[in-house]
């Protein structure tokens, strides 16, 4: 599988300078020429990319993560997390699925890849992983509590549309599919494989 | 009009320390206790809030901004921008509408206020401004080129659903309204006033 990292809408110029390195975010600045020839300081962040996984079990159920993190209200999401420095994107998705759910899958496909914001160089990769099987216990960080619930396709569509569900881009895809039977069939095929 | 700033999903604790002050983003860090009692460094950003305006002219057309900014492909959006330090939210919305379009409105309402991300303390306020009239020329920054196009309500709905339109939350509201006639009637009433 060839995975191409999407470019940010406002790519950082080569002369941008790293002005702060945080534990999660790096801050870059550069002199930008305006439309009238004057110069301004532009600022932009970079952070680790994110992977998330629509994991489909052999009986065609999809894994939903019920999550708690310190200082946040509970929320629901797909299994997923941050790509480590230098880590392969697909390897990160497989690692996060295994850590958060204890599941492994035989059949992986990239569903979408996009950058949500122009001020942060940050790509989000969504995978479909069919044939998911429980092979291990969860191995969670001290900063997470996760319970995995397998649900059928229609329940999955309903959960993604709830306000406590994390992935906004998937919500848009599902709303668009609900308005267009051809798109819904395509989405169902991409996820369930039939 | 009382405007309440929405809280971030993961509010910054009082002991968070400002570790970097950029031209747009401030970086904060704090020691966070994990679920197993261990401590980790958590990091979070703060940036200026954003206002945007659905400005409705007396002949019931809505102002769309066709924008160019250095280093970005052209995009469409609502008129709007950043709230200055210490500036009143509604005053910022009025200022941005006037600067970007040259329009003033007599009738202002808050349509929505939310924080899109848990890692950035950043609120986005959307207003409806009815009775919009052209009273001045645009006064743009060196970092923007904007052309204003008034469009009717149905065209407005279509433009918000296009991928080059900036405000994602509005796209979700419109998709939900297209799936539910009662929600569409409510949205139309909130925007057009009838």
How is residue A143 written in tokens? 């900063």
* Alpha helix segments (H runs only) across B49-133: 89-101
Q: What is the share, in percent, of chain A residues with pLDDT greater than 70?
A: 100
Which pTM does this prediction carry? 0.93
Contact, A97 vs A79, CB < 8 A? yes
What is the least distance, in Å, from the CA of A162 to any CA of chain B? Answer: 12
pLDDT score at B111: 95
- Indicate whether A59 pLDDT > 90: yes
Spell out a b/e string for A104-127, using b for 16 or more CB atoms within 10 Å of the CB, else e.
bbeebebbbbebbbbbbbbbbbbb
Confidence of residue A140 (pLDDT cuts 50, 70, 90): very high
From the list B11, B27, B36, the residue facing A142 with the nearest CB is B36
Q: pLDDT for A23-36, tens place per residue?
A: 999 999 999 999 99
What is the average per-residue pLDDT within A148-162? 97
The whole-angstrom distance between A58's CA and the closest CA on chain B is 32
Q: What is the pLDDT of residue B71?
A: 86
**Window 21-80 of B, Cβ < 8 Å to A:** 22-25, 27, 29, 32-38, 40-43, 45, 47, 68-73, 75
> Would an 8 Å CB–CB cutoff place A192 in contact with chain B?
no
Q: So what's the pLDDT on residue A1?
A: 84
Q: What is the pLDDT of residues A65-82, one digit of tens each?
A: 999 998 889 999 999 999
Would you say residue A141 has pLDDT above 90? no
d(CA B115, CA B107): 25
The arithmetic mean of pLDDT across residues A84-106, rounded, is 97
Percentage with pLDDT > 90 across chain A: 91
Pick B27's closest partner by Cβ from A25, A34, A71: A25
The predicted complex's ipTM stands at 0.91
**Confidence bin at A149 (pLDDT 50/70/90):** very high
Find the residue in B nearest to A163 (Cα).
B172
Q: Which chain A residues touch B116 with a CB distance below 8 Å? A: 168
Going by C-beta distance under 8 Å and a sequence separation of 6 or more, which residues neighbour residue B7? B115
With an 8 Å Cβ cutoff, are B168 and A172 in contact?
yes
Cβ-proximal residues to B77 (8 Å cutoff; 6+ apart), any chain = B52, B64, B65, B67, B165, B166, B167
B-chain CB neighbours of A119 within 8 Å are: 24-25, 47
Contact (CB<8Å) A20/B40: no
Picking from A38, A75, A142 by the largest number of B CB atoms within 10 A of its own CB, the best residue to mutate is: A142
Q: Which residues of chain B fall below pLDDT 70? A: none
What is the model's pLDDT at position A142?
87
């Amino acid at each position: 599988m060839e995975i191409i990292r999407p470019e940010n809408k406002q790519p950082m110029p080569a002369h941008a300078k790293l002005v702060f390195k945080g534990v999660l975010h790096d801050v870059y600045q550069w002199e930008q020429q305006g439309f009238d020839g004057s110069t301004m300081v532009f600022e932009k962040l970079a952070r680790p990319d994110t992977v998330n996984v629509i994991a489909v079990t052999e009986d065609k159920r999809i894994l939903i993560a019920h999550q708690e993190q310190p200082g946040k209200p509970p929320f629901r999401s797909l299994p997923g997390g941050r790509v480590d420095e230098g880590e392969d994107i697909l390897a990160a998705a497989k690692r996060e699925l295994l850590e958060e759910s204890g599941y492994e899958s035989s059949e992986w496909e990239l569903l979408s890849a996009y950058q949500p914001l122009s001020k942060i160089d940050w790509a989000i990769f969504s995978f479909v992983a069919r044939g998911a099987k429980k092979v291990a216990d969860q191995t969670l960080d001290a900063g997470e509590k996760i319970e995995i619930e397998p649900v059928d396709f229609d329940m999955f569509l309903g959960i993604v549309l709830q306000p406590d569900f994390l992935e906004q881009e998937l919500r848009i895809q599902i709303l668009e599919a609900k308005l267009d039977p051809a798109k819904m069939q395509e989405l169902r095929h991409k996820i369930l494989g039939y």
